[in-house]
Amino acid sequence: RSGLRGRGGAGFPTGIKWETAARAAGAKKYIVCNADEGDSGTFADRVLMEGDPFTLIEGMIIAGVAVGATQGYIYIRSEYPHAVRSMAKAIDLARSAGLLGPHIADSRYAFDIEVRVGAGAYICGEETSMLESIEGKRGQVRAKPPLPVLSGLFGRPTVINNLLSLASVLFILSEGSKAYADFGWGRSRGTMPIQLAGNVKQGGIFECAFGITLGELVYEIGGGTSE
């Protein structure tokens, strides 16, 4: 109902992916966060992992409970050493607080998270290449089908989401699906962090609703060109 879609580029509806994984048969299921972020000029994933890693951890826990997964992996590029350390420390804190492990928050649900660091290969931003890398193999694109949601990591049902998709889950569950869907335009609901860099007066990361124009981004948010 929120209209949340993948934020990695394909825009596939997150709810449909989770529902498919929940119905898939498998003794073990996985949640994988693609935080490779290899495109030039992008840094939203890095900023969130360094500044508020628990948003991602909680989103992954919710995804795990929703689809019946017990293990999560966060795939981070090696060029993000501070993000790797922040996520590792946050996972340790969450585990010590009882929010990760065999009985999360004293419930019947089990879920844990590991950080996997890639060697910086751009191709591993593609989801099946990323799975190959997590499994310890050379990062190469897999043929589809089967889809990862049915046969992904180690041949098990696997939900692969962009970091920004998983980080949006908390707001949706806290404020309701309508509150999230009220932002956006057309089929693109919700918000997206916009990264501005280069020849603009006000660079940085800004969260905007879908539907904003490039001119508004550059001249109203970025303050126009710096020269």
Whole-model pTM: value is 0.92
Over the stretch 12-37, which tens digit does the pLDDT of each residue have? 899 999 999 999 998 899 999 999 98
**What share of the chain has pLDDT > 70, as a percent?**
100
- b/e burial code for range 108-125 (CB count within 10 A of at least 16 → b): eeebbbebbbbeebebbb
How much is the pLDDT for 167?
94
- Radius of gyration, CA atoms only, the chain: 18
Residue 120 confidence (pLDDT): 80
* pLDDT tens by residue, 34-78: 999 888 778 889 999 999 999 999 999 999 999 999 999 999 999
Please, is 58 exposed, middle or buried when counting C-beta atoms within 10 Å of its C-beta (0-12, 13-18, 19+)? middle
Evaluate if residue 103 carries a pLDDT over 90.
yes
Q: What is the pLDDT of residues 130-166, one digit of tens each?
A: 999 999 999 999 998 999 999 999 999 999 999 999 9
At 227, is the secondary structure helix, strand, or coil? coil
**Distant-in-sequence, close-in-space partners of 97: CB < 8 Å, separation ≥ 6:** none
pLDDT confidence band for 96 (50 / 70 / 90): very high
